[in-house]
A and B are shown apart, each in its own frame.
Chain A
């Protein structure tokens, strides 16, 4: 049995004011270190909702969530922010880079917040991540000078900067054309295979899902 990174126990969630509409019901998941997992399902099946619950950003749910063996229930907002900073890297459908800062500064930002390394070391690490993703020549550019695929790769570099336990993606290729999607997928695959990076990617792209290590199929808020 490999080391468990993420574990859920009976997670349920429902939206609703007058009538409760269940979105997630009784989700039990286990993610081991080094797994490349995709979550798929039809639109509205709750896959993104699940991801945000797992990411600690959404705290309104029943059940228990363990990240790296630590229970996330009852943690304060700054504590959860710290967990996200340290242990989780995010890649979203939209890149969410800050246009006021250069590519390199964008990548450095989460590490500067964490403060585990000195600024010079962070700069070097950020540069190394950009080299890995073949984006080093754009390090000093502003994000709005890059193409969509390039921005997404910068976002991946940013997700990697703190050596997270897990990378979570919400439709990371949703906005990209075929060629750029391929590049992003290749990047993820490489991270999983060469560095043993744990990945949890939500996607509706069946082609994408089939090529990952494990696929979690969701239907009506349940794991099918």
Chain B
């Protein structure tokens, strides 16, 4: 009953100056609206840009790097034990195949792991695209189209033709858009590539792909893994990369280390490989949050002002409440209640308008040649933003209300009443 009464009084005082209250609430509403729209848009953009790389990047990639042995043979010799300096060093690696040994067993073992979403083998080899007498450097990726589609959204980047055609058309190739333009190769035509061993092989163009990153699109092409194995003249268990996608990308660094030890291969996780993208996202998010919080703080000052005004005007009411038995704590509760009323109502309306703003941004056309699948501005409707926005609005208004409310609670009724 006590709190009911105090809330009643809060409401009455709030409505007594409803115009000023409304202005203060609109301040909160505006800031929360901006906060939500901005963050949703920024985060959507972040996801899009990160997705450009992250979506088609495996969470963990297993491969064999070409590197010199960390323990040089001379160090193993008993004769030179204890020598302070070895003159014979940096023995170069022999032309080892970048193949992953025992790849089928590794894939089978990975597929059983419950945190692994999927595994896709890949064979990467260098080729030359033959354009008349000119040879252009290129990379051919032998893939399993179905797995690539499932795990790395391959189909999204195939702008012409279908990824599945790689399996259906023997010797089919999906060319990068830029290299295809350079070679003037239309789907259905046959192009010639020269492998590193020197043989020239005809391949039939079945489609284009466009990643949005020019340096990828003018070098890379995709063929089925079987075609790639034929190109390099290796048996059907020869692969150079195992790509792993996890349910939770956060598990990648730990698992990468484990796999590297267990299978004796190199393993790199997406966080290590693409650290700069994360930095970019982080900075963009930081800016959005900073702007949102600044807006909220400004709104907080608005609330602070209106409360000070109400307190100044309602000095008499505060005095009589205290005289008739309301304690300082009760008075503080009343004025904190007013602040909370402004904050919560303004905040909730702000959340709704912010959602509306996000929907609006989502409708704005956004077409760019590098992002064939994106038609409008990207928006991330993450409920966490709404939660943060609400918590922020409540905390700011609480602090904006706390100091005036404390002032009100300390008003000495004797001074007010005797002053009349």
A202, B229: Cα distance in complex, Å: 109
Looking at chain B, what size class is its interface with the partner chain? Answer: 20 to 34
Most A CB atoms within 10 A — which of B319, B323, B325, B326?
B325
How many Å from the CB of A9 to the closest CB on chain B?
A: 21
Q: In the complex where A78-B328, A78-B329, A81-B322 touch, is A48 in contact with B1 (Cβ < 8 A)?
A: no
Q: How many A-B residue pairs have CB under 8 A?
A: 80
Q: A94-B420, A100-B13, A100-B15 are in contact. Are A113 and B330 (CB under 8 A)?
A: yes
With contact pairs A52-B418, A92-B420 given, residues A101 and B324 touching in the complex (Cβ less than 8 Å):
no
A56 to chain B, nearest CB (A): 10
Q: Which residues of the partner chain B approach A99 to less than 8 Å between Cβ atoms? A: 16
Contact with B along A58-84 (1 / 0, CB 8 A): 100000000000000000011001111
Check: B153 CB closer than 8 A to any chain A CB. no
B286 at the interface (CB under 8 A from A): no
A84 touches B323 (CB 8 A): yes
Contact of B325 among A58, A86, A94, A96 (CB under 8 A): A86
Main secondary structure of the interface of B (DSSP, over half): helix
Give chain A's interface residue range (CB within 8 Å of chain B): 20 to 34
Query: Known interface pairs A109-B5, A170-B417. Does A100 touch B12 (Cβ–Cβ under 8 Å)?
Result: yes
The docked-state distance in angstroms from the alpha carbon of A119 to that of B412 is 29
Q: Are A57 and B325 in contact (CB under 8 A)?
A: no
A96-B418 in contact (CB<8A): no
Instruction: Please pick, from A57, A97, A98, A162, the residue contacting B323 in the complex, using a CB distance under 8 A.
Output: A57
Chain B residues near A98 (CB-CB < 8 A): 9, 12, 317, 320
The chain B residues found within 8 Å of chain A, CB to CB, are: 1-2, 5, 9, 12-13, 15-16, 316-317, 319-330, 412-414, 417-418, 420
- Pairs across A and B, CB under 8 Å, 25 listed: A48-B418, A52-B414, A58-B414, A78-B327, A81-B326, A84-B323, A84-B325, A85-B325, A86-B325, A94-B316, A94-B417, A96-B316, A96-B319, A96-B323, A97-B320, A98-B12, A100-B12, A109-B321, A109-B324, A110-B324, A110-B325, A112-B1, A112-B2, A113-B325, A162-B325
Which 3 pairs across A and B sit closest by C-beta, in order of nearness? Answer: A85-B325, A96-B320, A100-B12
